[in-house]
Chains A and B, each alone.
Chain A
């Protein structure tokens, strides 16, 4: 059994709105082992980013709040540590890379100042040593000319370069967990491939856990070992990556996979899931996916299915009434 680096248990995050509260993340549980890349996929607005912000405890500026659940990082419960201690954990034990590299860097500061800032915050070393470390980290993420890059302002860097700098910044204190919130969405395909390769390389070298948040199933297939599929703030399915693609259980996962364009397939139009993610404040009763589901049944509109363990040992979980009815008919 591999060592667990992050365990999220029944995480629920709610947001205050004018009319009552909405639940953006509902009872989400998953875990990440050391050296493992876990994919977190789902449509826009399904709660992926809120999950990551909840783990980092970065919801202070929003009206959001973690109402229940446990976040255990490296054996330590961090959902109730004071903010002061939390600051020591952020950046040092877990770091985050964001969606838009071009706006992730402070336009008023040179790269060297931004990079050494994080290093100096968490390490008791001199400025010169911090600069040296920034240089080394930049080199390790494949920046060809670290010295010049350190002297640059963010606007002088391209998107791919900025994302490399961001990764370098996140890596500079050698965190044990890296949360990547759609790190390649804003980049073009060739740069995407380079960045993903870089992340794999870093993972292999440092044996860190990576939470890969994305809506790109291609990224999931190449990068991740396990996948958690989220919909409307809930975990719909969790499976090892090969099994998820070979035999998706949940109708939503099936729909997601079906809507990925296939090379060589000669189809007039791409299949898509009808409708869109329901508004968080007017959630349907029963299964949240039922109104859009191809195989909906009467029970789907009445009660919400539980997240069930499908195959023992393999951590294969699914939240669907179909499984029950199949079981009763003896199909599984």
Chain B
């Protein structure tokens, strides 16, 4: 036995010298991800947006709230890249600052929705029975309303405002997460290693959080990314309809809403916020697609 050990150690040392280093999983993931051009570009766009949003107060060329009545409804020009609105405020500056609000609202609401939906889905999938029936039927009820209608209903109940928009968007994020996490839990629950854990005397809680949850994170990440796009759209829609941020605030949806009065004379007021919302949502969705394809072991 001792001979065997030293011998195998010897051969191992020899092997270490010749063989290339083992690829780490992270490295492999990054390599695979980099081959997906649309996803990489989307990630780039998102990173750019986030950086712009964080730095926006310091890099804006004009004060986003300062009215300039000599420059009302100006089209794009060298001094105002994306033109000015009906009060002469610089649209580029307002959109930059607005990115902060839109991204924060989307991110926070999706995080809340994900957390609640994940916990509900895991519990429902693992324990089954009445809990599963209750959670899943609850989700069915929420699903039966169109997303935006549901959000409007929530805002109608608790009143308008940024925080309430966050809650509204979180509410309609929950059911889709609960469903996805439940089905992921159901499939992981059947794996042999869960049974092994049980055969070693693990408690339910331990099995659920330590053994099942990590196996479902993959589906969670993908859905999380995609949901941010939806959330941005939903938050903008709510603002557009006047349920969200105060109209004077530089919010993407609110800007669209204000600008639509000048659609004939100054279309750039709605054009640029619209393009920005479009690009942002598209980037998040494409990134989600890319992540899903990269994480799926069946697609090589």
Q: Which residues of A are interface residues toward B (Cβ below 8 A)?
A: 56, 58, 61, 87-92, 95-96, 98-100, 103-109, 117-118, 121-122, 142, 144-145, 153, 156, 166, 169-170
- Complex Cα–Cα for A98 and B195 (A): 9
Residues of B within 8 A of A91 (CB): 199-201
Residues of A within 8 A of B9 (CB): 144-145
The minimal Cβ–Cβ distance linking B5 to chain A, given in whole angstroms, is 6
| Residue on A nearest B216 in the bound complex, by CB | A108
The minimal Cβ–Cβ distance linking B205 to chain A, given in whole angstroms, is 11
- Complex Cα–Cα for A117 and B8 (A): 28
The minimal Cβ–Cβ distance linking B3 to chain A, given in whole angstroms, is 11
- Complex Cα–Cα for A309 and B22 (A): 60
Supply 24 A–B pairs (Cβ within 8 Å), ascending by A.
Answer: A88-B201, A90-B200, A90-B201, A91-B201, A98-B195, A103-B193, A104-B192, A106-B193, A106-B197, A106-B211, A106-B214, A107-B193, A108-B215, A109-B211, A109-B214, A117-B202, A121-B200, A121-B201, A144-B9, A145-B8, A145-B9, A166-B196, A169-B196, A169-B200
Residues of B within 8 A of A89 (CB): 201
User: Is B77's beta carbon under 8 Å from chain A?
Assistant: no
How many A-B pairs have beta carbons closer than 8 Å: the answer is 74
Tell which of B8, B191, B198, B214 touches A58, judged by Cβ atoms closer than 8 Å: B198
User: Is B299's beta carbon under 8 Å from chain A?
Assistant: no
Q: Are A103 and B191 interface neighbours, CB within 8 A? A: yes
Residues of A within 8 A of B298 (CB): none
- Complex Cα–Cα for A144 and B4 (A): 8
Residues of A within 8 A of B215 (CB): 106-108
Q: Are A121 and B202 interface neighbours, CB within 8 A? A: yes
User: Is B27's beta carbon under 8 Å from chain A?
Assistant: no
Interface size, B (range): 20 to 34
Tell which of A61, A103, A170 touches B189, judged by Cβ atoms closer than 8 Å: A61
- Complex Cα–Cα for A61 and B201 (A): 15
- Complex Cα–Cα for A145 and B192 (A): 26
| Residue on A nearest B192 in the bound complex, by CB | A103
Residues of B within 8 A of A103 (CB): 191-193
- Complex Cα–Cα for A235 and B191 (A): 29
CB contact under 8 A between A96 and B8, given known A106-B193, A106-B211: no
| Residue on B nearest A172 in the bound complex, by CB | B200
Residues of B within 8 A of A88 (CB): 201
Residues of A within 8 A of B191 (CB): 103
User: Is B300's beta carbon under 8 Å from chain A?
Assistant: no
The minimal Cβ–Cβ distance linking B15 to chain A, given in whole angstroms, is 11
Q: Are B202 and A87 interface neighbours, CB within 8 A? A: yes
CB contact under 8 A between A104 and B196, given known A109-B214, A145-B8, A145-B9: yes
User: Is B203's beta carbon under 8 Å from chain A?
Assistant: yes
Residues of A within 8 A of B201 (CB): 87-92, 118, 121-122
Q: Are B211 and A58 interface neighbours, CB within 8 A? A: no
- Complex Cα–Cα for A69 and B4 (A): 48
- Complex Cα–Cα for A157 and B22 (A): 13
- Complex Cα–Cα for A105 and B215 (A): 12
The minimal Cβ–Cβ distance linking B182 to chain A, given in whole angstroms, is 15
Q: Are A105 and B202 interface neighbours, CB within 8 A? A: no
User: Is B12's beta carbon under 8 Å from chain A?
Assistant: yes
Residues of B within 8 A of A109 (CB): 210-211, 214
- Besides A117-B210, A145-B9, 18 other A-B contacts (C-beta < 8 A): A61-B189, A61-B195, A87-B201, A88-B201, A90-B200, A90-B201, A91-B201, A96-B199, A98-B192, A103-B192, A106-B197, A106-B211, A108-B215, A118-B201, A122-B201, A144-B12, A145-B8, A145-B12
The minimal Cβ–Cβ distance linking B186 to chain A, given in whole angstroms, is 11
The minimal Cβ–Cβ distance linking A174 to chain B, given in whole angstroms, is 13
- Complex Cα–Cα for A117 and B206 (A): 10
- Complex Cα–Cα for A96 and B202 (A): 13
The minimal Cβ–Cβ distance linking A151 to chain B, given in whole angstroms, is 12
Residues of B within 8 A of A98 (CB): 192, 195-196, 199
The minimal Cβ–Cβ distance linking B65 to chain A, given in whole angstroms, is 49
| Residue on B nearest A103 in the bound complex, by CB | B192
The minimal Cβ–Cβ distance linking B66 to chain A, given in whole angstroms, is 53
Interface centre among A95, A98, A100, A106 (most CB of B within 10 A): A106
Q: Are B5 and A58 interface neighbours, CB within 8 A? A: no
The minimal Cβ–Cβ distance linking B97 to chain A, given in whole angstroms, is 41
The minimal Cβ–Cβ distance linking B202 to chain A, given in whole angstroms, is 7
Interface centre among A105, A109, A144, A153 (most CB of B within 10 A): A144
Q: Are B193 and A90 interface neighbours, CB within 8 A? A: no
- Complex Cα–Cα for A258 and B4 (A): 40
The minimal Cβ–Cβ distance linking B267 to chain A, given in whole angstroms, is 52
Residues of B within 8 A of A61 (CB): 189, 195
The minimal Cβ–Cβ distance linking A31 to chain B, given in whole angstroms, is 21
The minimal Cβ–Cβ distance linking B272 to chain A, given in whole angstroms, is 44
- Complex Cα–Cα for A120 and B9 (A): 30
Interface centre among B1, B12, B25, B200 (most CB of A within 10 A): B200
The minimal Cβ–Cβ distance linking B121 to chain A, given in whole angstroms, is 18
The minimal Cβ–Cβ distance linking A164 to chain B, given in whole angstroms, is 14
| Residue on A nearest B12 in the bound complex, by CB | A145
| Residue on B nearest A102 in the bound complex, by CB | B192
Residues of A within 8 A of B195 (CB): 58, 61, 98
- Complex Cα–Cα for A105 and B192 (A): 8
The minimal Cβ–Cβ distance linking A323 to chain B, given in whole angstroms, is 38
- Complex Cα–Cα for A166 and B197 (A): 11
